[in-house]
């Protein structure tokens, strides 16, 4: 790939200015784990982990590092993957796309996941009522949906200049002559992979594999 090709998609560029906003969602689960560690003795040897619709405990587990730290570790890993995806889209898309607010959607999801799962992980130490989470989570999801819709409307007039013949099945992009890893999706929101680029498969496998490992770890830690 030539230097000219790299310049069109930003490889080798410095970190984007919005990268500083990727720090807080990474710190939140770490702060939750630090809080748990400093208040370990406050956690009962057997504590509630699930509650019914009336707020009564109906699920219990024992105090072990795996059980207690499992959810914050999951939150940390998930936010790291989402931030990595945001950076991959920024570096791997063409310059007009990199200025799009759609690039930052994984970062917004990282904030949502980091806050929600960290709050759940703190429940053995901090008496957090269930109803604030039940109210906050849908509001955060609604805010994220509004952001995505607004970002998509702002990009409505911005063309990615991808040839029609390189699209198949409505949303699969395959163009070996395009150096970009990500292009604007023609179906739905956000970006899609350029499946003709070998690096796209590496990112896709890493993304799905990382999420799969984290989900498996979370299930294991809750047993």
Question: For 80-114, what is each residue's pLDDT tens digit?
Answer: 999 999 888 888 887 655 556 677 788 888 998 99
The CA distances from residue 124 to 2, 79, 215, in Å, are 54, 22, 21
Tens of pLDDT, residue by residue over 17-75, are: 888 899 999 999 999 999 999 989 888 888 776 666 565 666 778 888 988 999 999 99
Q: Does residue 6 form part of some domain?
A: no
- Residue 142 is assigned to a structural domain of this protein: yes
Contacts 24+ apart (CB under 8 A), 139-148: 140/112, 140/115, 140/116, 141/112, 144/105, 144/108, 144/109, 144/112, 147/101, 147/105, 147/108, 148/102, 148/105, 148/189, 148/190
Higher pLDDT residue, 145 or 219?
219
Q: Which residue has the higher pLDDT, 146 or 152?
A: 146
Q: Which residue has the tokens 């990727």?
A: 22
Q: How do residues 182-204 score in pLDDT, each as one tens digit?
A: 888 877 677 889 999 989 999 99
Q: What is the pLDDT of residue 53?
A: 59
Residue 17: inside a domain: no
Q: State residue 7's pLDDT score.
A: 44
CB 122 within 8 Å of CB 94: no
The number of folded domains in the chain is 1
What would the DSSP string read from start to end of 39-60? TGGGS-SEEEEEE-TTS-EEEE
**Span 9-16, mean pLDDT?**
62
Residue 70: per-residue pLDDT: 92
- Report pLDDT for 170: 75
Q: Report the pLDDT value the prediction gives residue 144, as an integer from 0 to 100.
A: 78
pLDDT at res. 50: 67
Show the tokens assigned to 132.
């604030």
Report the distance separating Cα 57 and Cα 140, nearest Å. 25
pLDDT at 3: 38
**Please, what is the average pLDDT of the chain?**
81
Considering the domain boundaries, does residue 48 fall inside one? yes
How far is 218 from 223, CA to CA, in rounded Å? 9
Q: Is residue 8 part of a domain?
A: no
Provide the domain limits for residue 65: 25-155+170-221
| Residue bearing the bigger pLDDT, 147 or 62 | 62
Q: Confirm whether 129 is domain-assigned.
A: yes
Look at residue 15 and tell me if it is in a domain: no
% of the chain surpassing 70 pLDDT: 79
Q: Does 33 map to a domain? A: yes
Q: Give residue 5's pLDDT.
A: 45
CA quadruple 176, 180, 184, 186: dihedral, nearest 10: 0
| Residue of 203, 207, 201, 169 whose CA lies nearest to 186 | 169
pLDDT of residue 107: 87
Where residue 210 falls among pLDDT bands split at 50, 70, 90?
very high
């Amino acid at each position: 790939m030539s230097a000219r090709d790299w310049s069109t998609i930003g490889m080798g560029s410095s970190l984007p200015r919005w990268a500083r906003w990727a720090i807080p969602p990474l710190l939140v689960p770490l702060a939750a784990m630090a809080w748990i560690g400093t208040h370990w003795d406050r956690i009962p040897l057997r504590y509630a982990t699930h509650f019914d619709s009336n707020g009564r405990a109906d699920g219990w587990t024992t105090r072990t590092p795996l059980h207690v730290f499992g959810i914050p570790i999951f939150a940390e890993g998930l936010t790291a993957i989402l931030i990595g995806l945001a950076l991959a889209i920024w570096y791997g898309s063409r310059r007009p796309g990199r200025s799009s607010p759609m690039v930052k959607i994984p970062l917004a999801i990282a904030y949502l996941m980091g806050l929600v799962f960290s709050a759940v992980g703190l429940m053995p130490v901090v008496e957090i009522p269930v109803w604030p989470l039940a109210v906050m989570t849908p509001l955060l999801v609604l805010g994220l949906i509004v952001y995505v819709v607004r970002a998509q409307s702002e990009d409505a007039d911005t063309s990615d200049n991808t040839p029609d013949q390189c699209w198949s099945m409505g949303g699969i992009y395959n163009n070996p002559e395009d150096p970009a890893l990500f292009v604007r999706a023609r179906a739905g929101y956000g970006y899609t992979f350029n499946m003709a680029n070998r690096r796209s498969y590496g990112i896709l496998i890493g993304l799905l594999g990382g999420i799969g490992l984290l989900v498996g770890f979370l299930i294991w830690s809750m047993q």
